[in-house]
Amino acid sequence: MRRRPVFYLLLAVCILWLFGCSKEPEQAAEFAQPKDCSVHFISCGKADAILILADGEAMLIDAGYAARASEVVSYLKAQGVTTLRYLVLTHGDKDHVGGMAEVLTNFTVEQLLISPKAEDSTEYLAMTAAAKKTNVAITVPEVGDKFSLGNGSFLVLAPGEEALLEGSDNDSSLVLHYYYGERSFLLMGDALFTTEKEMRENGLTAPCDVLKVGHHGKDDASKKKFLRAVTPLYAVICCGEIVGEDEDGEPDEEVLSNLEEFEIEVLRTDELGTIIFDTDGTALTLRNLE
C-alpha cells in the first residue's frame, strides 16, 4: 500500500508524456507551407503573356508584342516578380516572342524553354541574343517532359511529330498542362486542329479546369472533339488589338458556338482585361476582372 503514491506519480508522468506526444502533429501543422497559386492572363491585345505564381516561384509563358513589352514587364514587377524560374516561348510568332528580349533583360531567368521550331525574325533573334548575353540556359522540351513549379508541376503535351512535320508556326506551339493540387490549366499556345487531333490520339487530353483557347479563338482550333475530351469549366481567350493593323483580333463565331454548346464559360481579355485565377489546390476563384 505504501508504494501506491509512487505508482500514481509514475502513471501521471506517463499520461502527461503521451498527451504531449499527441500534440506534436498539430503543432507541426501550424508551420506547414501554405499552398498559394495564381494564374494571370495578361491583357495585351491579340497576344499571349501568361504569368503563373506558385509558392514563391514564378514562370512566364510568352511575352506579347515588342511594342507592348513594357506593359508586360511592368505587370510582372507590380506582382513582385524579380526572378523567373522558367520563361517559356510557345512559338516564334511576333505576338508571342515580341517581348521576350525585354523580359530577359529585366528579370533573372533561370531557364528558357522554347519550341523546337526556330525562327529568323527580328524579335526571335533579339530573344536569343538577350539569352546569350544574360547566360540563360535554353532548353527545347519534348512531349512527356515534366517540370515543377512551387507545389505544382507542368507537363509538356506538344508539339508532336505530326504537327512538326506539317511545318506550321502555330502547330509548333509548346502546349503545357499545369497541375496544382486538384486544379489544372491547359495552355494551348497557338496550337491548331492538327495538334488537338494528335493529342487526342496519343491520350494527352486530360480534363482541365481552365483552357487557354488555342490561336486566340480562331476557327482552325478548338474543335468539338477536343473540347469534349478536355471538358474545361472556363475558356480564356487572349484577344483584342492586333499591333500594327487597323482591326481587332476577335474570336470566330464557330469557336464561341462550340464553347457555348459545351456550356463552357468564356472569358475574353478584350472584354474583361487581365484575367486572374487563384487556387489553393482545391478552391478556384476569379479576381481583378476589369
* 105 close to 79: Cβ distance less than 8 angstroms: no
**Lowest pLDDT segment from 10-24, 195-209, 246-260, 266-280:** 10-24
CA distance 95 to 68: 10
Give the pLDDT band of residue 251 (cuts 50, 70, 90). very high
CA distance 213 to 208: 12
CA distance 213 to 121: 25
Give the pLDDT band of residue 289 (cuts 50, 70, 90). low
Q: Strand 284-287's sheet: what is its strand order?
A: 137-139, 111-114, 86-89, 57-61, 50-54, 37-41, 275-279, 284-287
Return the percentage of the chain with pLDDT > 70, whole number: 86
Return the amino acid letter for 191.
A
Which residues have C-beta within 8 Å of that of residue 115, sequence separation ≥ 6?
89, 90, 91, 92, 140, 159, 172, 173, 174
How many other CB atoms are found less than 10 A from the CB of residue 136? 18
Give the pLDDT band of residue 243 (cuts 50, 70, 90). confident
Which residues have C-beta within 8 Å of that of residue 247, sequence separation ≥ 6?
none
Residue 15 has pLDDT above 60, yes or no: no
Query: What are 90-148's pLDDT values in tens digits?
Result: 999 999 999 999 999 999 999 999 999 999 999 999 999 999 999 999 999 999 999 99
Phi first, then psi: give them for residue 5, nearest 5 degrees: -55, -40
Q: Which CATH number fits domain 34-287: 3.40.50.2300, 1.20.1440.230, 3.40.50.300, 3.60.15.10?
A: 3.60.15.10
* Burial group, residue 119, by CB count within 10 angstroms (0-12, 13-18, 19+): buried
- Per-domain residue ranges of the chain: 1-32, 34-287
Task: State the pLDDT at residue 41.
Answer: 98
Residue 6 has pLDDT above 60, yes or no: no
Task: State the pLDDT at residue 195.
Answer: 97
